[in-house]
């Protein structure tokens, strides 16, 4: 019978400090895992398994040298475009609050969308609840998983609100906007694909020049409580 040996899982003090996550005490993969180990680890319980199944392209180039700055930059990368893209929505909700407009399903959906968006940012930056109980949320329930759930729920309410707006303004839209067609649809999708491919290519080309490529293997604690090289 064919048997597959799953990769070994380590505790926090067995991996280099740069890989430590606040409040996560166990379930770490080897920092020099092979491609096969990474694939196999997605089918065993680690502190990244749930994250792997929700997104497949995590990145980390200034995090190796300045992790706090990297955290700020990654948070700003989500917050800034969210605030900029939602300026019309903020204006609409404020105008609706000041003018006592009709409270319909679209307005309610946008409010839920903003609520879950705020929760997403808060969980990502605060590392709650694992910071309050280190080791309790290593596998299920830590902030990275919770902010993924909040992001999905926020997107769901946003799409529902948009559909409600489209249905209620169908006549107005048809009279002022061109009808959607295949050239416009595939053209937009093609531009998005080329843009994403360019971003991936640029960062992939920079990988060989990334600092900290030589990471020492994890130390295994001895019975006396000290660490030695395996």
Express each pLDDT in 167-216 by its tens digit. Answer: 888 887 778 877 778 888 899 999 999 999 999 998 888 776 544 444 45
Q: What angle do helix axes 105-126 and 87-99 make, rounded to 10 degrees?
A: 130
For residue range 68-88, list pLDDT tens digits in order.
777 777 778 778 888 888 898
Q: Model-level pTM?
A: 0.53
Please check the confidence at residue 220 and state whether its pLDDT lies above 70: no
Supply the range of the domain harboring residue 169: 12-199
Residue whose pair of structure tokens reads 């609100």 in the numeric block: 161
What Å distances lie between residue 219 and 144, 205, 215, 222, 227, CA to CA? 26, 31, 12, 9, 6
Assigned domain for 209 exists? no
What Å distances lie between residue 29 and 6, 78, 139, 159, CA to CA? 11, 27, 13, 36
Assigned domain for 149 exists? yes
Assigned domain for 38 exists? yes
Assigned domain for 107 exists? yes
pLDDT for the residue 99: 73
Task: Work out how many domains the chain is built from and give that number.
Answer: 1
Q: Judge whether 106 and 161 are in contact, CB under 8 Å.
A: yes
Q: Is 159 helix (H, G, I), strand (E, B) or coil?
A: helix
Assigned domain for 57 exists? yes
Assigned domain for 49 exists? yes
Q: How far apart are CA 191 and CA 49, in angstroms?
A: 32
Assigned domain for 34 exists? yes
Residue whose pair of structure tokens reads 């395996």 in the numeric block: 230
Residue whose pair of structure tokens reads 């994890």 in the numeric block: 218
Arithmetic mean of pLDDT over the chain = 80
Assigned domain for 217 exists? no
For residue range 30-58, list pLDDT tens digits in order.
888 888 887 888 888 888 887 777 654 44
């Amino acid at each position: 019978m064919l048997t597959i040996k799953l990769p070994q899982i380590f505790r926090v003090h067995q991996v280099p400090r740069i890989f430590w996550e606040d409040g996560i005490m166990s379930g770490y993969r080897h920092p020099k895992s092979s491609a096969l180990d990474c694939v196999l680890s997605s089918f065993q319980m680690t502190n990244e398994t749930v994250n792997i199944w929700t997104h497949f392209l995590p990145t980390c180039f200034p995090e190796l040298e300045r992790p706090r700055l990297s955290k700020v930059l990654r948070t700003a990368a989500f917050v800034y475009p969210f605030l900029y893209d939602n300026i019309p929505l903020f204006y609409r909700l404020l105008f609706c609050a000041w003018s006592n407009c009709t409270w319909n399903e679209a307005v309610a959906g946008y409010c839920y969308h903003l609520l879950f968006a705020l929760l997403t940012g808060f969980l990502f930056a605060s590392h709650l609840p694992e910071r309050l109980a280190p080791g309790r949320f290593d596998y299920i329930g830590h902030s990275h998983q919770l902010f993924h759930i909040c992001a999905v729920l926020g997107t769901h309410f946003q799409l529902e609100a948009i559909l409600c707006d489209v249905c209620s303004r169908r006549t107005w839209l048809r009279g002022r906007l061109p009808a959607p067609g295949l050239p416009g649809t595939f053209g937009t999708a093609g531009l998005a694909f080329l843009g994403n491919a360019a971003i991936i290519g640029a960062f992939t080309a920079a990988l060989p020049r990334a600092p900290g490529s030589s990471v020492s293997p994890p130390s295994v604690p001895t019975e006396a409580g000290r660490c030695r090289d395996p």
